[in-house]
Amino acid sequence: MGETGREQRCLKREGGTLSEAVFTVPEEIAFTLIVNGRNVATAMLSPGMLHEFTLGYLFTEQIVKGTGEIESVRLERNAAEVLLKNPFRLVGQRRMVPGGCGGSSSPLETRRLPKIRSGAGFSAGEIQAAVERMIQVHEGAAASGLHFAGIAERGRVIAIAQDIGSLHALDKAIGHALREQIALPDKCLITSGSISSGAVRKCLVSNIPVIASPGAATALAIELAEAGGLTIACQVHNASMVLCSHPERIAA
């Protein structure tokens, strides 16, 4: 039993026969973010990498501009108490962030979204290698139903996170990069789930120039990525991929 899964006794039906079976199922907790004494969000997520989630969420939701604005983070199992260096700063109203696909809690105000500021280029082989590594990790997970996200550099996945929510997994991966002071403008973000508008928003805020997935991308995600200068590489399988926006960043 790991921090993101536990053993659950169930009945398995196979053909016309019922039998007892034990499966590893994902854990889910309600995790509250308290900033300067104010409850700003409660997220339904997997219990691993909570410090990284805290950093990544506060950054990608534009509550802070970077870890330099944070004085301290105190973690408990179901909450993080964050003190900013400006203790008098007021933050937004409380948000409820669901699990599952883990939708962004912020409205998509496209005019306020930043644009990618990176001249980095990538090869198709690097993207394919990183996605293939993510698929291997996903298939080898003890608990089913988890989404995975990773930060890739030159085809090598240097950070991996998992969660019941695809965007929560992205927050954890980005939060890991922030905690380890990993520069993001020359990295690729990999997700095991579909590429949604929320995922694009997190890339634009984090200045990550490429997002890739073995899954599809939504129409709104492609529209936002085109406007923001982000490259979407979706349906990455073996030697093929679909480049939905800014293909000039990917060399053959």
How many independent structural domains does the chain possess? Answer: 1
Return the CATH number at 130: 3.40.140.10
- Site of tokens 């007892």: 20
Residue 235 located in a structural domain = yes
Sign of CA dihedral 224, 92, 188, 193: negative
Quick: pLDDT tens for 181-236.
Answer: 999 999 999 999 899 999 999 999 999 999 999 999 999 999 999 999 999 999 99
Q: Is residue 92 part of a domain?
A: no
Q: Encode 19-45: b = buried (16+ Cβ within 10 Å), e = exposed.
A: eeeeebebbbeebbbbbbeeebbbbbb
**pLDDT tens digits along 63-72:** 999 999 999 9
The reply to whether 187 falls in a domain is: yes
Q: CB under 8 Å to 217, separation ≥6 — which residues?
A: 194, 195, 196, 225, 232, 234, 244
36 found inside a domain: no
The residue segments making up the domain with residue 147 are: 122-251
DSSP, collapsed to helix, strand or coil, labels residue 179 as helix
- Whether residue 213 is contained in a domain is answered as yes
Does residue 204 sit within a domain? yes
Could you tell me the pTM of the whole model? 0.90
